[in-house]
Chains A and B, each alone.
Chain A
Amino acid sequence: NAGVTQTPKFRVLKTGQSMTLLCAQDMNHEYMYWYRQDPGMGLRLIHYSVGEGTTAKGEVPDGYNVSRLKKQNFLLGLESAAPSQTSVYFCASSILGQGLSNQPQHFGDGTRLSIL
């Protein structure tokens, strides 16, 4: 039982390049989330999904796209990377509840992304 697994763990990109961050969970959770964490700031929600085939915008969605084709996977894409997207990206999942905030979230260990 691995929980939430993120790949890759580290990546360096050049401005304008694209890439996809992968998140997989084996807990059969309905909800999945992508956050970014920057020094001195709290985790900020980028996009989330309340079930297979659904996605929605969070607090800071610009420059990112997501897909949830399978219940266990949630992909985060950067179409044209910018230096402002240098950050640590965390994926999380939670069980079905009354909304998105009344259940514990289970996090992966993050992807450290640098955009040069």
Chain B
Amino acid sequence: SQKIEQNSEALNIQEGKTATLTCNYTNYSPAYLQWYRQDPGRGPVFLLLIRENEKEKRKERLKVTFDTTLKQSLFHITASQPADSATYLCATNNAGNMLTFGGGTRLMVKP
């Protein structure tokens, strides 16, 4: 079955810096990779979807890369703000064509 690894330790950065979160997957080479944001006590909110033939995708201050050789996706937030503080989830399709989610990485942006 698909396995997704995200850093379980919180990432602490200073406001204005670029935050970079890592998502590594094993066992299955996905065609799609999605990133979600989850605030405490709330459901995940979709941010970006990237396909295997897309190396990079951007949306405002967000950038996602998809390296099928390294089996890794990087999620960047440029000019980070305290409002960006949340847990970020990575998800890929699996062999059954359903989504497998990682455990998420908590981002803390300090003013």
Determine whether A107 belongs to the interface, using a CB cutoff of 8 Å to chain B: yes
Contact partner, B102, options A42, A48, A90, A106, Cβ 8 Å: A42
Check B103–A102 contact: CB distance below 8 A: no
Q: Beta-carbon contacts of A34-49 to B below 8 Å, as 1s and 0s?
A: 0100001111110010
Q: How many residues of A contact B (CB 8 A)?
A: 25
Main SS of chain A's interface residues? loop
- Residues of A near B102 (CB, < 8 A) are 42
Check B43–A108 contact: CB distance below 8 A: yes
Interface size class of B (residues with CB under 8 A): 20 to 34
Most chain B beta carbons < 10 A, residue from A44, A48, A99, A108: A99
Check B43–A45 contact: CB distance below 8 A: no
C-alpha gap A40/B34 in the complex (Å): 19
Given contacts A101-B30, A101-B32, A103-B49, 13 further A-B contacts (CB under 8 A): A40-B8, A41-B103, A42-B102, A43-B89, A59-B98, A90-B44, A99-B93, A101-B98, A102-B31, A102-B32, A102-B93, A104-B34, A104-B46
Chain B residues in contact with chain A, CB under 8 A?
1, 4, 8, 30-32, 34, 41-46, 49, 51, 89, 91-94, 97-104
